[in-house]
Amino acid sequence: MRFPAIFSALLVLAACSPGGDDAPADPVENAWVRLPAVDGRPAAAYFDLNGGEAGDTLLAIDSPRVETIELHETMEMEGGMDGAMRMQPVMSVEIPADETVSFAPGGLHAMLFDIDDDVTPGTPLTLNFRFDSGRDIQVEAVTIGAGDEPPFSDENN
């Protein structure tokens, strides 16, 4: 008679365990940093943010190895030269429920000012993402040199 009780317990545990297609996506994916070509200049971070079932808002990013991180958006200049771009700081970024917001070259990105000198291409860089929901997510970003190919395919960035 113990077999049915053990079998029932295993079924309950299996039903509660995450996995498969129903598992929620990581809130931050594909994080990478393009280091500056010139020492003393800022680097740029790119990543994908998943809104999950409820959505959320990215408020800030910090790192123990970076003095300041700002959220920015690249925009075409109005009334300027055709195709000229400029960057504009943004205070937060809304991530709608069941959607992904990509931070990619030419769009949303994070500017990293005063990175530790020992961060070189290939050095993992810890980034801490703070959300309006109260979640703090820590990820290890891949670092690449200024002229290197992005570590993730274009369809992810």
Q: Please check whether residue 115 is in contact with residue 74, taking contact to mean a CB–CB distance below 8 angstroms.
A: no
C-alpha 41, offset from chain centre: 21
Q: Where are the domains of the chain?
A: 22-149
pLDDT in tens, 47-78: 999 999 999 999 999 999 999 999 999 987 66
DSSP 63: B
- Position 85 confidence tier, pLDDT thresholds 50, 70, 90: confident
Architecture of the structural domain at 22-149: Sandwich (2.60)
Give the Cα separation of 73 and 92 in Å (integer).
11
Using alpha carbons, list the distances in angstroms from residue 47 to 10, 66, 87, 151: 38, 17, 18, 11
Q: Which two tokens stand for residue 93?
A: 């970024």
Structure confidence at residue 156 (pLDDT):
42
Give the Cα separation of 101 and 33 in Å (integer).
17
- Give the global pTM: 0.79
Instruction: Print burial letters for 66-80: b (CB count within 10 Å at least 16), e (below 16).
Output: beebbbbeeeeeeee
Q: Which residues pair with 129 in a beta bridge?
A: 61, 137
Give the Cα separation of 52 and 98 in Å (integer).
5
> For residue 85, how many other CB atoms are within 10 A of its CB?
11
pLDDT in tens, 17-27: 344 444 456 89
Give the Cα separation of 136 and 63 in Å (integer).
12
